[in-house]
Amino acid sequence: MEPKLQHDPHATHAEHPNRQFDQEESSGRQVNLVTGMLIGALVGGLLTLLSSSSRQNTKQSLRGAKDSVSTLASSIKEDPSGKASQVINQVKSASSIIQEVASDVQNVYDKVNTELETVKSDASTVKDTVNETKGDLSSISNKVVEAKDVALGKEEPPAEHDASNQQANDSQSSEEKNKGEGI
């Protein structure tokens, strides 16, 4: 059994594993994350102000903000109910415009969705046609190779393509047509 040290950092870490991100000041108070971020932002802002152009831009921005706030405050002091009604009217106008935009967006969405379905359907039809055409072209290609082989004497013509068989087949098919038509 090991003796427990009074200020053992490993024992403290085992008891409180999330405390590794906290720092202690010299007075013993803990500096939390938000305070550290604020201090970092303040230091970064001060470093940025070392540039003269940044200082000038910051001064102009602060003056403009101060003037606009003071103008707004004085106009509200003069006529608070008038400003309130003006703000309400502006919000209502903006709300109606937003509703129109939402309606337009919905219409565009519906239109695109409909067109997309049409395109999917057309693409499916084109795909089926291409597959059928591939099969037909394969069959034609096989027949062309067979015709070439027959023409060169490498192969005997199939029975169905014999000239005498062809005439018999033609007469049979005309008889079947006549039976089907009731002649």
3-state secondary structure of 28: coil
Q: Is 22 left (phi over 0), alpha (psi -120 to 50) or beta?
A: beta
pLDDT tens per residue, range 95-116: 999 999 999 999 998 998 899 8
Distance from C-alpha of 66 to C-alpha of 72, rounded to nearest angstrom: 10
How do residues 150-159 score in pLDDT, each as one tens digit?
Answer: 888 877 776 6
- In this predicted structure, the answer to whether residue 169 has a pLDDT above a threshold of 60 is no
